[in-house]
A = this chain, B = another copy of it.
Amino acid sequence: MDTIYTMKKHNYSAGPSILPQEVFEKSAQAILDFNNSGLSILEISHRSKDFVAVMDEARALAIELLGLEGKGYQALFLGGGASLEFLMVPYNLMKENGKAAYLDSGTWATAAIKEAKFFGETVIVGSSKEDNYTYVPKGYEIPSDADYFHCTSNNTIFGTQMKEFPATNVPVVCDMSSDIFSRVLDFSKFDIIYAGAQKNMGPAGTTLVVIKEEILGKNGRAIPSMLDYAKHIKAESMYNTPPVFPVYAALLTLKWIKEKGGVAAVEKLNNAKAALLYGEIDRNPLFKGAAVVEDRSNMNVTFLLNNAEHTETFDKMWKEAGISGLPGHRSVGGYRASIYNAMPIESVQVLVDVMQALEKSVQ
């Protein structure tokens, strides 16, 4: 345990968040000299052969890792953040006087709903707001005449995660910002998947959007160029100058996932990390989980002390252990351990050790 206690910090930040160490090293090197070109990745033209290759590889690798090759999907790396997708989705999919179905499972779902209202009717098919989003709504019905259904696969703030997705005849749009590339799903059931890079995929500054091309161009709206998915696809994700460095760092992260054995191999590690930490939360009489057991997120583990008197001691202990980013979001309180792909199980063990040490210290 001593060696782990003295290693680099254990970064539990919810996002921007921990990335593989080799992504830090390789991206820092590319800033000093990119591909032995004598130029920095920060000063090369986005139209240069070397960067076009980066963009092409990142787009292809995203599709490959999701198992969507040859299925009519296109991947884009856009600027602006996932929050921009909250309005691009209805702009591209909602008809004039149309309507869209939304699942209200947390803060970001609520933010997406707010933007959709600028474009038409939003039907909230299910909501767990009254229980402060401690669970994912289930058993809802999606109107068959909705232009699309929108959901959030993982709720970063509340620590819940959708384990199943509804069967529906309408296009399915999913904000996967905080669990993309963390588990295997049948991604071909989704028509648009989007994700801000800054959890499992790279630094802040770019957003992955994966689109089933055939669903575009059907809502009859005139769309400003920068908000038009079809224009970005036609320009091969270079409609305007892309966020060059964030895209490069995202490519390094996607390559790391592939080298690890792909999403299935990473999922196995994620399951082991989550089992280790939730196991301790359930075993240790000082702690309790914040979310209902069946909807617990394997990415963001939210938990609380049963007795607030231990807060000061616990906070001192985990800080001394080199842990950072553990405090929970103000709307939940307590703690949130974000254990994204790049978090080593050794770091999770450090947190578990601290929780056990706290238990001993109060006996």
Chain A contact residues, CB within 8 Å of chain B: 8-9, 11, 13-19, 23-25, 27-29, 31-32, 37-46, 48, 78-84, 86-87, 111, 114-115, 118, 196, 198, 202-206, 222, 224-227, 239-246, 249, 322, 324-325
User: Which residues in B have their C-beta under 8 angstroms from that of A28?
Assistant: 28-29, 31-32
Cα A202 to Cα B45 with chains together (Å)? 13
- Of the A-B pairs whose beta carbons lie under 8 Å apart in the complex, a sample of 27, sorted by A's number, is A8-B38, A9-B38, A13-B45, A16-B45, A19-B43, A24-B43, A28-B28, A79-B79, A79-B243, A81-B226, A83-B239, A83-B240, A84-B226, A84-B240, A86-B224, A87-B227, A115-B225, A115-B226, A118-B224, A198-B241, A203-B244, A204-B241, A204-B242, A204-B243, A206-B243, A243-B243, A246-B246
Chain B minimum-CB-distance residue to A40: B24
Whether the Cβ atoms of A81 and B241 lie closer than 8 Å is: yes
Q: Quick one: closest B residue to A224, CB to CB? A: B87
Cβ A226 vs Cβ B45 within 8 A: no
A25 neighbours in B (Cβ, 8 Å): 32
Which residues does chain B contribute within 8 Å of A114, judged by CB atoms? 225
Bound together, the chains give a CA A204 to CA B243 distance in angstroms of 5
Give the nearest-CB partner of A111 in chain B. B225
Top-7 shortest CB links A-B: A205-B243, A80-B80, A83-B240, A42-B203, A28-B31, A87-B224, A28-B28
A225 near B83: Cβ-Cβ < 8 Å: yes
Using CB atoms, name the residue of chain B closest to A29: B28
Give the shortest distance, in Å, between A13 (CB) and chain B (any CB).
5
Residues of B within 8 A of A37 (CB): 9
Interchain CA distance A224-B120 in the complex, whole Å: 13
Residues of B close to A24: CB separation below 8 A: 31-32, 40, 42-43
Residues of chain B lying within 8 A (CB to CB) of residue A243: 79, 204-206, 243, 246
**B residues within 8 A CB of A202?**
42
Nearest neighbor of A227 in chain B, beta-carbon distance: B87
Partner of A81, one of B81, B203, B240: B240
Asked if B32 and A224 sit within 8 Å, CB to CB, the answer is: no
How far in angstroms is the closest Cβ of chain B from A299?
Answer: 15
Complex formed: what's the CA distance from A9 to B79 in Å? Answer: 29
Shortest distance between the CB of A86 and any CB in chain B (Å): 7
CB-defined contacts of A78 to chain B, threshold 8 Å: 80
Give the residues in chain B near A31, CB-CB below 8 Å: 24, 27-28, 31
Enumerate chain B residues within 8 angstroms of A42, measured Cβ to Cβ.
Answer: 16, 19, 23-24, 27, 202-203, 249
B13 & A44 in contact (Cβ 8 Å cutoff)? yes
Partner of A204, one of B84, B225, B245, B325: B245
Q: A28-B32, A32-B25, A196-B241 are in contact. Are A87 and B205 (CB under 8 A)?
A: no
Cα–Cα, bound, A99→B81 (Å): 30
From residue A46, how far is it (CB to closest CB) to chain B in Å?
6
Contact of A205 among B27, B45, B245, B324 (CB under 8 A): B245
Interface centre among A28, A37, A39, A205 (most CB of B within 10 A): A205
